[in-house]
Chains A and B, each alone.
Chain A
Amino acid sequence: MTVAASSPPSRLPLRGAEGVTAKRKARKVRERGDGALAALFIAPALLGFLVFLLWPTLRGIYLSFTRFNLLTPAKWVGLDNYIRMVHDPIFWDSLKVTVEYVVINIGVQTVSALVIAVLLQRLTQSAVLRGIVLAPYLMSNVVAGVVWLWMLDNQLGIGNEIIQSLGLDRVPFLADETWAIPTIALINVWRHVGYTALLLFAGLQAIPNDMYEAAKVDGASEWRMFWRITMPLLRPVLAVVLIMTVIGSFQVFDTVAVTTSGGPANATNVLQYYIYGSAFGRFQFGYASAMSVALLAVLSAITVIQYRITRAGQTDLG
């Protein structure tokens, strides 16, 4: 996302200056014919880009201004879908539920990932441990959802067996309106935290070890080094990772679909699930598109704001 701006486009002119004349001539002859070849090389990807990315994006925005049930042609209705959306309490509820999910999911995940990454860096550089923490990421959301649904089952789940053996009351995790969203948020932390931790770990690798050694000589504790060295220098990486994970988090769907189907009583009716229901349950593709556009707008705004606040593009690592 951000790396794009810093990629070196200035490389080509520089290169031309240092080439040997004969070589340059040879290259010039070749490069004159590049247009046709480039067209051939770029064609499949460009086709895919135009047909399955650019066109659907524009079409999604267009459909949000129409009434469309998939069977009859889309009919232009202006802002009707957006007006309906603003007055739809279920939409606002699902937005609220989604935000609640994102806050818990991102909060717990970021802190845990940071702890894991620092432990992997300062305690051990073991590749085996890195492999282990990544393992849940290889499962699909469906698998993760089904497994935790079983482990957190009210009657038979091992989770509640443990809770009961500690002398506490059983928790109806996914069947309870209050607990369902935090539970789903934590299930997804389980699946994604290792991946996030490895991203941060990669960022930590860029911090020179000398800094820690020097601080240690000065008698600094690990705790102090974390706040004075690790956090400031990791900030740009952390910022990019945060933007990525927040955007991903807002798109939660699979886990909800597999574990609660939006219930109990709409308690887990996250935005993407509501959009899905509107389109494929009630065939209101226009309205579903309008909500998708709203989600897209929210995500774009968050990206811009986070990018500004966290100065994601700049590094303190001279």
Chain B
Amino acid sequence: MAAVATTTTVRRVRRRPSLGRALAWTVMAAIVLITLLPFYWILRTALSTNSALVAHPGDPLPVDLTGGGFARALGLQSTEEAIAQGGSGGGLAFWRYLLNSVIVSTLIAVCQVFFSSMAAYAFARLRWRGRDKVFGLFLAGLMVPAIFTLLPNFVLIKQLGLVDTLLGIALPTMFMTPFAVFFLRQFFMNVPREVEEAALLDGAGKVRVFFRVMLPMASTPILTLAVLTYITSWNDYFWPLLVSYSDSSRVLTVALAIFRAQTPQTGTDWSGLMAATLIAALPMLVLFGLFARRIVNSIGFTGIK
């Protein structure tokens, strides 16, 4: 950090290393520490045994290093072994939940972004009667907090007989969100009309223009939106909690909350719980690692979410 400060000083003559700057860097360092400490503490706890955690609560390193927590979270331990190490011995069909989370998030991200981009194209570039009225209606939808629709949507999903199914979890957000339509419409509006017209004069139909010209030109915002939608769906807890009752449709967030509620006689299985937490969060961390720059830079655009 100090090195960075010095190079800036050299480059911009007016900026002297001052007490203020040192203080500012200290604040920044503290913020980074508070931000990252919980991540380290998850890892440190997951690699410790429950008995050692009780004996050395403040030790900064993993105590009595073990992979037991991970084995328990992944359901690789026998019941007796799990209970002996401070687990509840309750089953946890981890791979099932992981698969469920992947299916639901993929279904939502792919369908929502595709259908929303079709609608966005119709709003941005096709001419039809009532277009502005329908778009105004969509925009009004931005004003309804998502949480307000959960109860009635649950009633609907129940009537459709889709309770406790993955489709039931995905369905309400699979077709669109007003935000996605609005966001993509802005990008389509900015694609130069000449590009589209050139393709049309070459004899391409509007459908072809959409798939061959518009979608590729908007591939960056579309991919960004898809990644953000994927993360949002992956992290969603309230809606899946309402819809899923059994392992067949349980996603990771809900499973994790259940794991946390299954407190064994000896006290919470922190080691196993932190291991499960890490595994549940890992796919998002990997996704973030891959798209970090793009996500970070897109926050300004996608702000109105």
Q: Do A and B bind each other?
A: yes
Which of A53-61, A76-84, A85-93, A177-185 has 4 or more CB atoms under 8 Å from chain B?
A53-61
Q: Is the interface of B mostly helix, strand, loop or mixed?
A: helix
Say if the beta carbon of B80 comes within 8 Å of chain A.
no
Say if the beta carbon of A127 comes within 8 Å of chain B.
yes
Nearest-CB residue, chain A, relative to B209: A30
B53: chain A residues at CB < 8 Å are 156
Say if the beta carbon of A211 comes within 8 Å of chain B.
no
B146: chain A residues at CB < 8 Å are 251
Count how many pairs of residues, one from A and one from B, have CB atoms less than 8 Å apart in the complex: 297
A315: chain B residues at CB < 8 Å are none
Contact between B206 and A30 (Cβ–Cβ < 8 Å)? yes
Q: How many residues of B contact A (CB 8 A)?
A: 107
22 A-B residue pairs with CB within 8 Å: A8-B189, A30-B200, A38-B122, A38-B127, A42-B123, A51-B156, A57-B144, A57-B152, A59-B155, A116-B31, A123-B25, A131-B296, A133-B31, A134-B299, A143-B235, A144-B38, A147-B41, A158-B41, A241-B303, A250-B145, A285-B151, A296-B144
0/1 string, B175-199, CB within 8 A of A gives 1:
1101001100010010001000100
0/1 string, B209-239, CB within 8 A of A gives 1:
0100000000000000000000100111110
With A45-B175, A251-B145 given, is the CB distance from A127 to B273 under 8 Å? no
With A27-B200, A60-B151, A150-B274 given, is the CB distance from A44 to B175 under 8 Å? yes
Contact between A257 and B151 (Cβ–Cβ < 8 Å)? no
Say if the beta carbon of A72 comes within 8 Å of chain B.
no
B256: chain A residues at CB < 8 Å are 140, 142-143, 146
Contact between A280 and B296 (Cβ–Cβ < 8 Å)? no
The 9 A-B residue pairs with the shortest CB-CB distance, nearest first, are: A48-B175, A202-B300, A140-B235, A45-B119, A56-B152, A161-B58, A38-B128, A45-B176, A41-B122
Q: Which of A31, A45, A115, A142 contacts B257 (CB 8 A)?
A: A142
Say if the beta carbon of B61 comes within 8 Å of chain A.
no
Q: How far is the CA of A49 from the CA of B36 in the complex (A)?
A: 39
With A119-B27, A135-B288, A258-B260 given, is the CB distance from A34 to B128 under 8 Å? yes
Contact between B304 and A240 (Cβ–Cβ < 8 Å)? yes
Q: How large is the interface on A (under 10, 10 to 19, 20 to 34, 35 or more residues)?
A: 35 or more
B186: chain A residues at CB < 8 Å are 7
Which of A96-104, A192-200, A227-235 has 4 or more CB atoms under 8 Å from chain B?
A192-200
Q: Which of A26, A34, A123 contacts B24 (CB 8 A)?
A: A123
Q: Identify the B interface with A (CB < 8 A).
A: 4, 8, 14, 20-21, 24-25, 27-28, 31-32, 34-36, 38-39, 41-42, 45, 53-54, 57-58, 115-116, 118-119, 121-123, 126-129, 131-132, 134, 137-139, 141-149, 151-153, 155-156, 158, 171-176, 178, 181-182, 186, 189, 193, 197, 200-201, 206-207, 210, 231, 234-238, 241-242, 253, 256-257, 260, 268, 270, 273-274, 277, 280-281, 284-285, 287-288, 292-293, 295-297, 299-301, 303-305
Q: Which of B152, B206, B231 contacts A34 (CB 8 A)?
A: B206
B134: chain A residues at CB < 8 Å are 42, 46
Q: How far is the CA of A280 from the CA of B243 in the complex (A)?
A: 11
Contact between B300 and A199 (Cβ–Cβ < 8 Å)? yes
Q: How far is the CA of A300 from the CA of B38 in the complex (A)?
A: 35
Q: Identify the A interface with B (CB < 8 A).
A: 1-4, 7-9, 11, 15, 23, 26-27, 30-31, 34-35, 37-39, 41-42, 44-49, 51-57, 59-60, 63, 70, 112, 115-116, 119, 122-124, 126-127, 129-136, 138-144, 146-151, 153, 155-158, 161-162, 165, 190, 194-195, 198-199, 201-203, 205, 216, 221-222, 240-241, 244, 247, 250-251, 253-254, 257-258, 272, 275-276, 279-280, 285, 288-289, 292, 295-296, 299-300, 303
